[in-house]
């Protein structure tokens, strides 16, 4: 069987089975945004990595080495944030074509450093290798989290509210605008794609609430990533279209592009917003706390059900429709 037949997440399920171990220090291995390892009596160590491959994750005709460095660091910080933690130390591995210019690498590291400094990340080493193929950036990032603040994908319970930060779909629209050579039409959207902002500060507030039962960042699309929570929590979801935080610019860009706004919102990836679930009695309090302290909007977009992995949309006409994730999959999208 080829990996194109099982897809990225089917492959992860196989890997999870292959690497099963019994190390008592590993609190959480394969299956969440980061690995979680015992660090001390009150803290866990968080460990994540993410790879950006030219031609798959970025095109140098659209971005700059500086923006590539910033984004590569930001998406790793987002993984740490989604667990309720703070990032600490990074290792950076570069796989480089021999003709790469030193000036390119200087700008790449300027992006790494600027984004890393913003979130308290210290770059402590890495690796360099040559390739005849595409340029590749791989970052491994350590972080830590107070044990009482750790958030996993697996805690959602029936009746919990489903909440989301910001306005998903903007990055996907931005990418489509870049491909359509409409770079200057909606700079907010192209900026969301080229230089996303991890919701670290918001995550620290959210994670401080014990009533928050699960959390994940939106890297592969709202439906895809909500689906990971549902799978790990053995739950389902009912979503309310009327409450979706769809940005006006997203609707406008969708019209220009000939795209469906709802599909961009539900299936577009690389927003790095946070989806989380919480006791409905505390949902408004959490929203208000984040708004007051960070100025970031949070929307309640649905509730958790007991229909395992089933996602139902209640549309604007009060009709209920079954939804199926169509977000990014590294291998099924080939």
DSSP 128: E
Q: Torsions phi, psi of 260, nearest 5?
A: -90, 125
Confirm whether 328 is domain-assigned.
no
Last residue of a domain, one of 91, 124, 148: 148
Nearest residue to 124 (alpha-carbon basis) of 88, 85, 166: 88
Continuous H helices in 162-247: 170-179, 187-194, 200-207, 222-233
Average pLDDT value for residue range 163-191? 96
- What does the block give as tokens for 164? 């989301």
Whether residues 53 and 143 share a domain: the answer is yes
Q: What percent of the chain has pLDDT over 70?
A: 97
Chain centroid to Cα 116, Å, comes to 17
pLDDT band at residue 21, thresholds of 50, 70 and 90? confident
Q: What strands, in cross-sheet order, belong to the sheet with 26-28? A: 26-28, 35-38, 43-53, 136-146, 86-97, 122-131
Domain residues for the domain of 51 are 3-148
- Backbone region of residue 221 per phi and psi (left: phi > 0; alpha: psi in -120 to 50; beta: other values): left
More confident residue, 69 or 8: 69
Pair (115, 181) in one structural domain: no
pLDDT, one tens digit per residue, over 254-287 is 999 999 999 999 999 999 999 999 999 999 999 9
Which helix (DSSP H) or strand (DSSP E) does residue 293 occupy? helix 280-294
Number of domains in the chain: 2
Quote the CA–CA distance of 38 and 47 in Å, as a whole number: 11
Evaluate if residue 293 carries a pLDDT over 50: yes
What global pTM score does this model have? 0.93
Q: Is residue 196 part of a domain?
A: yes
Q: Would residue 217 count as lying in a domain?
A: yes
* Integer Cα distance of 146 and 178 in angstroms: 40
Q: H/E/C letters for each residue in 231-246?
A: HHHCCEEEEEHHHCCC
> Would you say residue 100 has pLDDT above 60?
yes
Q: Is residue 334 part of a domain?
A: no
In a domain, residue 262? The reply is yes
121 and 167 in a single domain? The answer is no
């Amino acid at each position: 069987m080829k990996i194109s037949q099982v897809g990225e997440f089917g492959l992860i399920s196989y890997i999870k089975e292959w690497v099963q171990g019994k190390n008592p220090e590993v609190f959480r291995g394969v299956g969440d945004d980061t690995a979680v390892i015992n660090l001390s009596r009150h803290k866990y160590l968080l460990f994540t990595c993410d790879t950006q491959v030219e031609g798959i994750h970025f095109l140098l005709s659209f971005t700059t080495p500086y923006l590539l460095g910033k984004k590569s660091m930001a998406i790793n910080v987002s993984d740490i944030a989604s667990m309720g933690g703070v990032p600490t130390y990074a290792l950076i591995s570069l796989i480089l074509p021999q003709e790469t210019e030193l000036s390119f690498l200087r700008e790449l590291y300027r992006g790494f450093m600027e984004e890393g400094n913003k979130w308290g990340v210290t770059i402590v080493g890495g690796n360099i290798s040559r390739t005849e193929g595409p340029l590749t950036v791989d970052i491994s990032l350590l972080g830590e989290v107070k044990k009482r603040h750790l958030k996993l994908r697996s805690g959602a319970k029936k009746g919990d509210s489903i909440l989301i930060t910001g306005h998903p779909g903007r990055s996907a629209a931005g990418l489509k605008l870049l491909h359509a050579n409409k770079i200057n039409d909606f700079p907010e959207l192209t900026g969301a794609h080229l230089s996303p902002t991890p919701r670290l500060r918001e995550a620290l507030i959210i994670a401080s609430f014990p009533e928050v039962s699960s959390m994940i960042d939106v890297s592969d699309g709202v439906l895809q990533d909500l689906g990971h929570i549902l799978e790990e929590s053995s739950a389902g979801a009912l979503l309310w279209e009327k409450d979706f935080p769809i940005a006006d610019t997203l609707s406008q860009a969708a019209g220009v592009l000939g795209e469906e706004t709802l599909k961009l919102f539900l299936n577009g990836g690389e927003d790095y917003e946070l989806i989380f679930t919480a006791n409905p009695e505390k949902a408004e309090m959490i929203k208000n706390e984040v708004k007051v302290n960070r100025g970031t909007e949070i929307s309640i977009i649905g509730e958790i059900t007991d229909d395992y992995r089933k996602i139902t949309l209640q549309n604007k006409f009060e009709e209920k429709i079954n939804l199926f994730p169509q977000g990014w999959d590294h291998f099924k999208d080939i």
